[in-house]
Structure 1
Amino acid sequence: MNLEISKTVEKHSTVLTLKGEVDVYTAPKLKEELYSLLRISNHKVIIDLSEVEYMDSTGLGVFIGGLKASKQHQSHLTLRNVTPRLDRLFSITGFAEVVAISRGGKSR
């Protein structure tokens, strides 16, 4: 039940690298960090999920809300380095159809 969030800021984008678990206990920390960035117009937020070991429905809810916030504030949300387990979760729920997912430099 631990989540580390590291942030790399560039000119018009921020990369959040997550490590650990995104669940009911850690989601508020992620939500606060993510939503504050998505409120910046024309800002691109990239979430690196390569080191996320587990995500529950609360974590998925943070990303769904983040996508809504990005549309409201004309910012951009991209997920990258999605693990097979998370890719399956995003596919089953239909989230993969509405969010940009980048693998190896390519988005879908």
Structure 2
Amino acid sequence: MELALSTRTDGDRSVVAARGEIDLYSAPGLREHLRNLVSDGVRRLTVDLNSVEFLDSTGLGVLVGTLKRLREVGGTLVILCDQERILKIFRLTGLDQVFDIQDSASPDGS
């Protein structure tokens, strides 16, 4: 399955909704999309993974890199996820302690 991305604005936050699989083949597209948003001045970013069916280490690397870039410019990253199979990956890698992971559809980013 391919990865589909859509972006919307929710107040001062940009929300990127991902649908499909984030893996070795699709992660570069996600990386470019997120990098472009940060380059365009987005400082409050949410990545919605609620419709993601698969996430591998390459996808995790993209999210970690985006978090790092945002922190360098004083920004924030919220991960929206209510998928137990995806949340398990964050827990197993310890990244649940690094990311602000929420299951709410309208994160406040705090």
Q: Same fold, TM exceeding 0.5?
A: yes
Partner residue, 2:86: 86
- 2:72 is matched with 72
CA distances 1:6-39 after superposition (whole Å, capped 9, x unpaired): 1102442111000000001100110011122234
TM-score w.r.t. the length of structure 1 is: 0.88
What do the CA deviations read for 1:42-77 (whole angstroms, capped 9, x no partner)?
Answer: 721111111100011100110111111111111110
Question: In the alignment, which residue of structure 1 is the partner of 2:95?
Answer: 95
Deviating beyond 6 angstroms after TM superposition, the runs of 4 or more aligned structure 1 residues are none
Match of 1:58? 58
Residue 64 to residue 18, structure 1, CA distance change in 2 (3 Å) = same
Q: Give 1:29's aligned residue.
A: 29
Q: TM-score, with normalisation over the residues of structure 2?
A: 0.87
For 1:42 and 1:33, locate their aligned partners in 2 and report how far apart those are by CA, in whole Å. Answer: 12
Change (3 A) 1:100 1:40: farther
Q: Which 5+ residue runs of structure 1 have no aligned equivalent?
A: none
Distance in 2, matches of 1:81 and 1:57, equals 17
- Which whole-Å CA distance do the structure 2 matches of 1:100 and 1:57 have between them? 18
Q: Is the 8 A contact 1:3 1:26 kept in 2?
A: yes
Runs of 5+ in structure 2 lacking a partner? none
Q: Is contact 1:5-1:17 (8 Å) kept? A: yes
Q: Letter of the 1:3 partner, please give it.
A: L
